[in-house]
Every structure is written in C-alpha cells, then in structure tokens.
Amino acid sequence: MRQARIAVGSTPPRQVNVAADSLLPFDARGVYAEGSFAWLPPVTGAVYGTLLNFQGALAALGESVHAAPYLAPPQGPLLYLKPVNTHAGHGAAIALPPGGDAVRIGASLAVVFGRQATRVDARNALEHVAGYTVAADVSVPHDSYYRPAIRHQCRDGYCPLGPWIVAAADVPNPDALAITVRVNGRIRQQNHTSNLIRPVAQLIAEITAFMSLHAGDVLLVGVPEGSPLARAGDRIEIDIDGVGVLAHSVEAAAQGDQ
C-alpha cells in the first residue's frame, strides 16, 4: 500500500491510500475519480538535499574541485534545504524565473523518515526510514556548488514530490533503483542509485552524526550528472523503479514575478 495526500475542493488535505495496482487514491469515502482531486506533496516535514553524491556528478567537476578555496573534493555530505515554499505535488506546474528560458530538472530518490534518527549506525540506518518517494529538485541553471544558491533553488514550487510514499518494506534495496527522466515523452536522462558515492544507509549515518532527522523529514539522496533542461510547455516525468512516476510541467513566468 502507498500513502498520499490530496486536496478536494476547499476541504482540508486528506490522507489517502493508493493500491499497488492503481493510480487512483482511496479512503473510507471510496475511490477518488480522476479530475476530482489534486495531488499534494505526500510529506510535511523538512526537505534536505545532498550535493555531489553521484559519482558522475563529482567527476564532471574535473579539476575545479581542487581549486581554491577548498583545494579538495568534499570530505562529507554537502547539504542544502528545500524550504516549504518549494514543495509541490504530482502534476504541479513550475514557473520559469522572469527573464529565464529554462530550468534544470534534478531527479532524486527521496527518503522519508518514520522516526528520529540521531547518530545512527549505517548497519541499522534504514530501520529509521518509513518509505520513499520521488523528488524533482528544480533549479535555475547555475554553477555555484559550494555556496547556497537560494535564488536559484528555492523558488516557489521548485521541489515537486510524490505522487505517494512507498513503504520501506516494499523497497528492499534503495541502492538498486533505476532513475529515468523523460521530457515530453522522450528519455533525457538515465542513471541508477548504485552510482551513489554514499549509499543511502551510509549517507544517513554520516548526516545524523551531526544533526538529527525527525519523523516526517525527507532526505534527497542526490542528483545525477547531466540533469536535463526544461522549458515553458514541457512536461517532465521522473520514473524511479519500484517507487513511482512523478510528473509536472513548466510554464512561463507569471507577470509581476521577480
């Protein structure tokens, strides 16, 4: 069973289930017909992203990782925050920034925590995981890896999540999942979580060595190299094996946006 959140008219958000053989949510009221609801982000906690955790993403920087001021590749996880204003549900439309003609689509497996994780050992780190969902870490194209790119990464709606949370028990190995990104139906990126520098359990252990992650929090494990660009009118699908397909679209900047 998969868990999701939906909006129906002006009523409060509803917690629903989605059967493994269906794309429609249901609860005690029955099955919701397509078009009668909107998908909400299935999570409500803090969402953290991880930079340069794919082998190819780090390799793509070449010798620049040895330049000043850092002089070496990162020795630990590089984290950033996707604040609540960025969170959007399956099917959402993302607005381009004023004057911009494209956004970069970062596909990521998202780990959803079921209980507090503080200084956990990699051997039991996954015991703290409730499940997994799909994330689109959207950003305005930029080349700032070591400084917080707030204006580029934290615009409204720039972190679609969903459609649902798949229980951890149904994803026996999060380090063995294929990731496919399609733009307008065409495959634009393929990668695999086996290419993570820090596998999921190790990543959790290293992060919780210095900060706690709480029930409901979400950790994006990393974005592969070669993330595609998307432009106004494009439809994006991020497909992670065994987890789901997250779809969203891109639209032109709204008049008056900054």
pLDDT tens string 176-197: 999 999 999 999 999 999 999 9
User: Which of 73, 168, 181, 74 is closest to 129 using CA atoms?
Assistant: 168
The residues near 135 (Cβ < 8 Å, ≥ 6 apart) are: 47, 107, 108, 109, 110, 159, 160, 161, 218, 220, 238, 246
Task: Check whether residue 8 and residue 118 sit in a common domain.
Answer: no
Return the minimum-mean-pLDDT range out of 139-143, 231-235, 252-256.
252-256
Name the domain count of the chain: 2
- Please give the mean pLDDT across all residues of the chain: 93
Question: What's the pLDDT score for residue 151?
Answer: 85
Which domain, by its residues, includes 193?
Answer: 41-251
Task: Check whether residue 181 and residue 218 sit in a common domain.
Answer: yes
Please indicate, yes or no, if residue 1 is contained in any of the structural domains: yes
Q: Rounded mean pLDDT of 197-215?
A: 98
Please indicate, yes or no, if residue 204 is contained in any of the structural domains: yes
Task: Decide: helix, strand or coil at residue 135.
Answer: strand
User: Which of 40, 39, 159, 168 is closest to 108 using CA atoms?
Assistant: 159
Task: Check whether residue 62 and residue 30 sit in a common domain.
Answer: no
Task: Check whether residue 17 and residue 5 sit in a common domain.
Answer: yes
Task: Check whether residue 51 and residue 79 sit in a common domain.
Answer: yes
Angstrom distance (rounded) from CA 49 to CA 241: 20
Task: Check whether residue 148 and residue 239 sit in a common domain.
Answer: yes
Task: Check whether residue 56 and residue 16 sit in a common domain.
Answer: no
Question: What's the pLDDT score for residue 232?
Answer: 98
Please indicate, yes or no, if residue 258 is contained in any of the structural domains: no
Question: What's the pLDDT score for residue 56?
Answer: 76
Task: Check whether residue 9 and residue 87 sit in a common domain.
Answer: no
Q: Could you report the per-residue pLDDT of 42-83, keeping only the tens digit for each?
A: 999 999 999 999 987 877 666 666 566 566 677 789 899 999
* Percent of the chain at pLDDT exceeding 90: 83
Tokens of 251: 């639209």
Task: Check whether residue 8 and residue 74 sit in a common domain.
Answer: no
Task: Check whether residue 2 and residue 123 sit in a common domain.
Answer: no
Looking at per-residue pLDDT, the higher value among 40 and 67 belongs to 40
Indicate whether 3 pLDDT > 90: yes
User: Across-strand partners of 166?
Assistant: 2, 132
Task: Check whether residue 235 and residue 116 sit in a common domain.
Answer: yes
Question: What's the pLDDT score for residue 130?
Answer: 98
Work out the pLDDT band at 12, boundaries 50, 70, 90.
Answer: very high
Task: Check whether residue 70 and residue 6 sit in a common domain.
Answer: no
